[in-house]
Structure 1
Amino acid sequence: MGKRTPLYSAHAKAAHMGEFAGFELPIWYEGIVQEVLNTRRDASIFDVSHMGRFLIEGPESASLLDWVTTARISDLGLRQGKYSLLCNEWGGVLEDAIVFRVGEESFILVGNASRREFDLEWLISRGSRFEASVKDLSDSSLMLALQGPKAQERLQRVCSEDLSKIRRFRGEWARILGEEAFLTRTGYTGEDGFEATFFCLEGAERIWEGLLGVGFKPAGLGARDVLRIEAGLPLYSKELNESVTPIDAGLFFAVSMEKGEFIGKGALGEALREGGRRKFLVGIRMEEGGVPREGYPLFLDGERIGEVTSGTFSPSLGAGIGLGYISKQLEPERAVSVGVRGVLKACRIARIPFYKPKALGAGASTQQ
């Protein structure tokens, strides 16, 4: 039996359940396609309590985070967040995360479910020389993602704060259905929306039911994965791992080479001097039937140039799409082919994100 979130009982009554990162989680409710389209057109609610949440606090908490992440965390204002990466000494990506300053000397780092144990050990071991503490809040809190063009309208009915005043990557303490939460304008779907973390588990099912009551529809991990691929967002263990640098992944915007020393800075500087990217993360869009699945090879004029890391059928676009790494820099619309069970099928290099909501634009949502 896998781990369970505080909402397991509610999910088990209504969803098709499956395993992810050691958790028993809802994969779909009404169906993946319906849940993707509802998120694009209206608003969906996702239980993301399986993700890692860590409180870092103390006089040198900002210095610790400046050392272990690639972004300049010490510059964050109160209740401001930033997407960042954790790298090893050779510049390989160990984790991607969002960090929020929740107090003058306190921060919350939200990372991937599959990296929870690693994140905790890394933060403690690499931060031991700093006057700061690290506490794992993952099992003692509830985290919900409220995503879609109507998320603000629906959430506002049960929220104490004026949501129109919360900008992207900003947060606010708020009462939702009477329960206190740290609410941020972030997400992993490419849509506008919010993520709410409740630090008391009492009433978790009441909160879930209350949000369904104002019109949010439940969505599972299947839809969440399709949505993040449509948005061109990487997932750790797929597009990101220790063999990939932020330069390779097109995530160098999350690296501050101007700040002081941080783990991996020297290696990244050397990589830049040697030309930067060793491989290129690209979008793939099928020109004929089929879906480019993980591990499928990519070819240019008969030469293998890479492989797919994530793939799906996109309900929003009505086509098979994927993300993958290739060894050559190719312009969007360049014709390539993908090996689908031994048969070469036509596809093209595509700009990512594949799907750009009118309310946001490219690159507006990350991670998470």
Structure 2
Amino acid sequence: MNLHIFLHSHHKIHLLKILLSFVLIFIYSSCAPSKRFTEYKESLIKDYKNEVRVLIGNSSRELQIESDAYIISENEKLALVKAGNKIIVEPIYEELLIQLGTKNFNGKEFYLESVNDSLIEINNKKYRGRIKLINVDGDVKTINQLSLEDYIKGVMTKEMPVGKGTENYEALKAFAIAARTYALNKIFNSRTYYDLLPDVSDQVYGGADSEHPLSNSAVDETRGLILTFENKPAIIFYHSTCAGYTESSANVFTKEEIEYLKSIKDGDTPYCSISPNFNWKEVIPEKTFIKRLFDAKLLKSENYSIEKFNIQSRFPSGRINELEILLKNDDGISSISIFGNQIRSIIKNQTGSGILKSNNFIIQINSERNIEIIGKGYGHGVGLCQWGAIAQSRLGKSYQEILSHYFPGTEIKRLND
């Protein structure tokens, strides 16, 4: 399946340049101009078949099959698994042993494919495409292989609220384009056995169970559309709530500024002010707070008390760049500093079950020796603000306007799949 971009220009030379530049491999740690990786581009274009590989199981040994499916190896149908049965998968050296009742099958890799091209259901979850089973260093990897468009459908509602009626529809279309662009970059920089993880490490993926007719329609209406900058797939980040200003990628993910990922004002009245996380508060007991600093290896022991917090600097967006914490123990007063987005993972939320919602806050210790954190926004702040996009959709803005707002200077192009 060849990869093309349809442009308004019909100049062959211009089209060829765009086609070849489309195979960039994106590295998050740098935003230097993308290399073209000449030695890879032809094979990437040739091998790209509109397929995504999502790791859905990291050590699966028992699979409950809830829909009729074939076990396939080397393009041969080995057995039919009837709905309600289970298979046992065991790693044996570099191969797999699959047990179905009294039948055993050995091989390097196996596929589970639905009968009649319907959804395949395993372990009470439905998936489009097929399921691949392989042995990687003694672990059974379960991988969902499916089309790019079907993958995006399985991401949509896990990352964006559908809303009432069509109020969020333009935001859903904008997000579909962003998510598709993100996935495409990951495909061209794929891991050995899979392209994407199904959680917040990449994009949250729920398979066919998470699909909704409206979000599916948003994917279908934007089929093949991606966001580009200088005729290359754009680097995509998104977050829940920017609280008035998005953040520059250089302050969170990249070493240098990216032209279309600089901090922007999100409307005179912030679009995302409708978010339930526009304002928030966390209260953390002092001992719990100290333990988190100790767990982060910032303190040698937990025998400290908090004296004072000093916000030494903020980014122009209002998010904290450096937070200094003055502490006291038997040896006297000492200080530590934590920086940028790492503040969120070190301090954590009130229960400790997740990271702090953002690093845009004020902080103090009260008379009851609790740490009070009063903050704004949710997420790292870079790129598309999801609640801001939703607000713009409700104000009648188009998906093109939404994407142009959060990724200024980018263009929407179409893939020919």
Q: TM-score range by the shorter chain?
A: under 0.3
**Could you state the TM-score of these two structures normalised by the residue count of structure 1?**
0.25
Q: Of the two, which has the highest radius of gyration?
A: 2
**Could you state the TM-score of these two structures normalised by the residue count of structure 2?**
0.23
